[in-house]
């Protein structure tokens, strides 16, 4: 049986073998259930880590035509986009 030590702040690290078995990733929400003499840890909501590469190619940018200057982020005035 896996064991852990409670820190001064009341934190517990879930052992790696348990995290792997139940696919617990950072951001997963858990809840503590008091069962009168024992405490059960239940998974409330799992968070599936996202892959940044999965979004590659979703946005298309128009290439400047011949002779058209390349636009840079510094060329935009964010204040001009505010609604009046």
pLDDT of residue 76: 80
**Would 57 be classed as within a structural domain?**
no
Task: At 77, list the tokens.
Answer: 């005035």
What pTM value is reported for the model?
Answer: 0.52
**Would 59 be classed as within a structural domain?**
no
Q: How many domains, in total, are found in the chain?
A: 1
**Would 29 be classed as within a structural domain?**
yes
CATH number of domain containing 41: 2.10.260
CB 18 within 8 A of CB 4: no
DSSP string, 56-80: TTSS--PPPPTTPPPP-GGG--GGG
Is residue 78 predicted with pLDDT exceeding 90? no
**Would 16 be classed as within a structural domain?**
yes
For residue 12, what are the domain limits? 1-48
**Would 7 be classed as within a structural domain?**
yes
The model's pLDDT over 27-49, given as tens digits with 9 standing for 90+, comes to 899 999 999 999 999 999 887 77
Is residue 84 predicted with pLDDT exceeding 70? no
What mean pLDDT is predicted for residues 48-63?
78
Is residue 82 predicted with pLDDT exceeding 80? no
**Would 21 be classed as within a structural domain?**
yes
């Amino acid at each position: 049986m896996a064991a852990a030590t409670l820190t001064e702040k009341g934190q517990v690290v879930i052992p790696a073998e348990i995290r792997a078995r139940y696919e617990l990733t950072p951001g997963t929400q858990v809840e503590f259930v008091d069962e009168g003499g024992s405490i059960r840890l239940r998974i409330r909501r799992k968070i599936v880590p996202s892959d940044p590469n999965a979004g590659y190619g979703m946005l298309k940018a128009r290439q400047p035509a011949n002779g058209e200057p390349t636009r840079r982020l510094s060329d935009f005035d964010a204040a001009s986009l505010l609604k009046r």
